Amino acid sequence: MLETSARLLRLLSLLQAHREWGGGELAGRLGVTTRTVRRDVDRLRSLGYPVHATPGIAGGYRLGAGAALPPLLLDDDEAVAVAVALQTAAGGGIAGLGETSVRALAKLEQVLPSRLRHRVSGLSGVVALSYSGPTIAPEVLTAAATACRDHQRLRFDYRATTGRTTTRTVEPDRLANAGRRWYLLAWDVDRKDWRTFRMDRIEGVPSLRERFTPREPPAEDMETYLSTALSSAPYPYQARVTLHMSKEEASQHVAATVGVLEAIDANTCELRLGANELVALGWIVGSIGAEFEIHEPPELAEHLRALGERLVRAANRDAADEA
C-alpha cells in the first residue's frame, strides 16, 4: 500500500488526468478503501486543492479551479511533449505567447529529470522563425475549446473572405489545426447547417451561452470531411484528377487544406481540390510532379492546353535565340 504522501500525489495526478472519478474507481487505482479516499480528499482540500464531490450512486470527485495553479504531475512522455510544444510556440501564430512560452520552458527544464533533459535538449537547436500571418488571441482558442468540451453555445462576430462581418451563434463540435491555422467545426444555429470557421477571422472573444445536446457529427470520417470543407467546398472551381502515384507519395505534396486524396490502387490515387481561379488549380496539379488525368472541370484541361502551348512557344524562342 502506498504511503500517505505518495498516495496523495498519486490521487492528485489521477484527478488531473480525468474530468471526474467515482470513489470506487479511485479506491481501486490506489489500492485503498473508499473511506481512505474520502480522508485523502479532505487532506488535499486542507492543502488548498479545490476537490469537488458529487453525492449519490453516480457521484464522484473532480478537481476544480482554485485561486492558484496546482503543480502539474506529468509522466515522462507528457513532460517531453510539453517541452517540445513550448519550444515551437514562439512562432506558432498565437498572439502573445512567445515570451510566455520561453519563461514556462525555463521553469520546466529546471525540474526535468536528467533522463528526460537529453531528450528535450536534442531539439534545442531548432530555430522558430517569426510568423507574419494572422494570429489568434489565446482567449479565443480557450473559449472555443471550453465550449467544445462543455457543450455550450458560442456567439461571436465573424469576418468572411469578402470582409463582411456577421454575428453567428453556433454549437461547437471540435477544433482542428492545419499548420498555423485553427478552425472550428460547429452547427450554425441560424443557418441550420454545419460550418467550418477560421479562428483568426473571429473578432473579439466569443461569449459562452447556454448548454446544448450534442448532435451526431456530420460524417464518420471527420478527417476527410474537414479536409473537403477546407480545400474544395468553399471554392467556385472544383477539380477531380487522377494522379499516377500512390496516395502515400501524393500526400507528401498535397496538404489536407489543399486537397483530398483517395487511393485507387497501389500506384494511383484521386485528388479533389478547389480554388478561386483555374490558374491556381493548374499550378497545384502541375507542381505535384506526376502524370495525371483531368476528369473535371473541362475548363481546366483547356486552360492547361493553352498554357502548354505558350510554354512550348517560349521554349522554342529561347532555343532559336541561342542558335
Q: What is the CATH number of domain 138-211?
A: 2.30.30
Q: Class of 222-309 per CATH?
A: alpha beta
**Phi and psi for 273 in degrees, rounded to 5?**
-150, 170
Q: What does the domain layout of the chain look like in residue ranges?
A: 4-63, 76-121, 138-211, 222-309
Confidence of residue 32 (pLDDT cuts 50, 70, 90): very high
Sign of CA dihedral 199, 201, 202, 204: positive
Supply the CATH classification number for the domain 4-63.
1.10.10.10
Using a CB cutoff of 8 Å and minimum separation of 24, what contacts does 112-117 make? 112/79, 112/83, 115/76, 116/76, 116/79, 116/80
Residue 21 has pLDDT above 50, yes or no: yes
> 44-95: per-residue pLDDT in tens?
888 888 888 887 665 689 888 765 666 667 778 878 888 777 766 655 556 6
Mean pLDDT value across the chain: 84
Res. 184: pLDDT tops 90:
yes
* Cα–Cα–Cα angle for 57, 58, 60, rounded to 5 degrees: 100
Domain 138-211 matches domain 222-309 at the CATH topology level: no
pLDDT at residue 128, as a whole number:
55
Identify whether the C-beta of residue 178 lies closer than 8 Å to the C-beta of residue 133.
no
Residue whose C-alpha cell is 519563461:
103
Model confidence band, residue 1 (pLDDT cutoffs 50, 70, 90): very low
The conformation of residue 48, written as its DSSP 8-state character, comes to T
